[in-house]
Amino acid sequence: MQLEASSVLPKPDIDSAAHSRHCADFIRARIRDSGGSISFAEYMQHALYAPGLGYYAAGARKFGPDGDFVTAPEVSSLFGSVVARQCAEVLAQVDGGSILEFGAGSGALAVDILAKLHALGALPECYQILEVSADLRERQDRRVRVEASKSVARIEWLDAIPERFSGVIIANEMLDALPVERFVRRETVRQQRVAASDNGFEFVEVDAPPLLVAAVEAIESDLGKRLPDGFASEVSLGASGWVSDVVAAMQDGIVFLFDYGVSRREYYAPDRIDGWLRCHYRHRAHNNPLVLPGIQDITAWVDFTAVAEAATGAGADIAGYVNQAQFLMSGGLAAELQGMTKLPPERQLELSGQVKKLTLPGEMGENFKCLGISRGTISPPSAFSFADRTHTL
Ligand SMILES: C[S@@+](CC[C@H](N)C(=O)[O-])C[C@H]1O[C@@H](n2cnc3c(N)ncnc32)[C@H](O)[C@@H]1O
């Protein structure tokens, strides 16, 4: 893969550099144990989630202006307020429904959703959070105790997907954080694995294992053509498994999946010859996942066709697929901004900046999508009432 120069990235401070060296040592040991290389999915798993060492498993700041990247709930509580309105529409149709949020990050979205549902008199039975990072779980706990004190009794953390669930499941920017496989199309399908090099890590290419070959061939069969020679990209085997598990649990309700992503046709378009990996370090985005292990975020854009296929394959329906701007505008953003003109000018300016960031096509409005997956007798909520693009999947 073409790696962008990492020399443009800010230099880590002494503690972060030491942390990254420990994480790299841990990964090098796994590579040695595996006979010289590991799959990229395993590398990503360790770099993000190795206990006490991975980016999400350790104490780095991550979110917000002082961290590495900003997500929609960190941009503005308007995002959570609109999501809450959509939750209320679904919960009104479900007897005793709850909300389950996956990968709750700093806890910002949970706080905003609960505040809005409290104001609407539409609190769920329970607000559950399933978070794989022990560090983030602690931060979420601390935050909701202070900022969602009125609803704290309804919040609980889960260790696994429940067997049965009714209500709303939400995941914002979680799918992009699931480990992906890397492949290259040549005469055969080849797998890009990670090996240790003199000064870090490097990609090495081997014949792909049967599961990866089957996944790439299924993509090609759906596209109706073989990918071009030398075409490299990612496949998220984990995302499909996760969606199937979530759908299996859902009895009656909707899953809202927010993330940056595109349809399969765009994902594997001929001009996208090097895939969709994106790394974030102190607000610099680049495409070299092999540097700064443990202190930079590694993500891959989402193939929403694959996610929708996994959902329908597990027995669910697609409630809608819209971009983030459309979700917010159809979902109640205007109602949230009512009365804005009565606010002090500085606050109006602040809010209009947040709205722009959340909705403009060059910001988060177009690349971010929401896929709604429904199960049971739920009518799709209003956020999916205009400009639905399910037919593009
Ligand atoms: C990019 S962050 C997004 C955080 C938050 N949702 C936001 O929008 O600010 C990804 C989050 O997903 C969590 N995560 C990753 N894999 C997960 C899984 N399989 N189950 C639950 N959480 C997961 C990470 O620990 C982290 O909290």
User: b/e string for 141-168 if b means 16 or more Cβ within 10 A?
Assistant: eebbeebbeebeebbeeeeebeeebbbb
Q: Which atom of ligand 1 is nearest to the CA of 178?
A: 16
Q: Which atom of ligand 1 is nearest to the CA of 258?
A: 8
Query: What's the 335 CA to ligand 1 centre distance in angstroms?
Result: 29
Query: What's the 5 CA to ligand 1 centre distance in angstroms?
Result: 27
- Per the CB < 8 A criterion, the answer to whether 281 and 292 are in contact is yes
Cα–Cα dist 265/222, whole Å:
9
pTM: predicted TM-score of the whole model, two decimal places: 0.95
Other CB atoms within a 10 A radius of the CB of residue 202 amount to 14
- Per the CB < 8 A criterion, the answer to whether 82 and 331 are in contact is yes
Q: Which atom of ligand 1 is nearest to the CA of 176?
A: 1
Cα–Cα dist 328/54, whole Å:
33
* DSSP secondary structure letter of residue 344: -
Query: What's the 341 CA to ligand 1 centre distance in angstroms?
Result: 36
Query: What's the 54 CA to ligand 1 centre distance in angstroms?
Result: 13
Pocket of ligand 1 (CB under 6 A): 56, 63, 71, 73-74, 102-105, 109, 130-133, 136, 172-174, 177-178
Q: Among 101, 131, 174, name the best residue to mutate to test ligand 1's pocket (greatest count of ligand atoms within 8 A of Cβ).
A: 174
Q: Among 132, 278, 299, name the best residue to mutate to test ligand 1's pocket (greatest count of ligand atoms within 8 A of Cβ).
A: 132
Q: Which atom of ligand 1 is nearest to the CA of 297?
A: 1
- Per the CB < 8 A criterion, the answer to whether 45 and 180 are in contact is no
The per-residue pLDDT for 59 is 67
The per-residue pLDDT for 3 is 47
Residue 285's beta-bridge partner residues?
A: 280
Minimum CA distance residue for ligand 1 atom 12: 103
- For the chain, 393 residues long, give each residue's pLDDT as a single digit of tens: 444 545 578 899 899 899 999 999 999 999 999 999 999 999 999 999 999 999 998 866 777 777 777 899 999 999 999 999 999 999 999 988 999 999 999 999 999 999 999 999 999 999 999 999 998 999 999 999 999 888 888 999 999 999 999 999 999 999 999 999 999 999 999 999 999 999 899 999 999 999 999 999 999 999 999 999 999 999 999 999 999 999 999 999 999 999 999 999 999 999 998 999 999 998 889 999 999 999 999 999 999 999 999 999 999 999 999 999 999 999 999 999 998 889 999 999 999 999 999 999 999 999 999 999 999 999 999 999 999 999 999
Q: What Cα–Cα distance (Å) separates residue 366 from each residue in 253, 348, 351, 372?
A: 26, 24, 19, 16
Residue 277's beta-bridge partner residues?
A: 300
* DSSP secondary structure letter of residue 189: E
Give the residue among 13, 9, 169, 45 at the shortest CA–CA distance from 101.
169
What is the dihedral angle through the alpha carbons of 381, 362, 390, 112, rounded to the nearest 10 degrees?
-30
Q: Which atom of ligand 1 is nearest to the CA of 242?
A: 19
Minimum CA distance residue for ligand 1 atom 13: 103
The per-residue pLDDT for 1 is 42
Q: For residue 329, give the amino acid letter.
A: M
Give the residue among 76, 120, 374, 86 at the shortest CA–CA distance from 252.
374
Query: What's the 235 CA to ligand 1 centre distance in angstroms?
Result: 19
Minimum CA distance residue for ligand 1 atom 24: 103
H-run or E-run covering 317: strand 317-323
Query: What's the 361 CA to ligand 1 centre distance in angstroms?
Result: 24
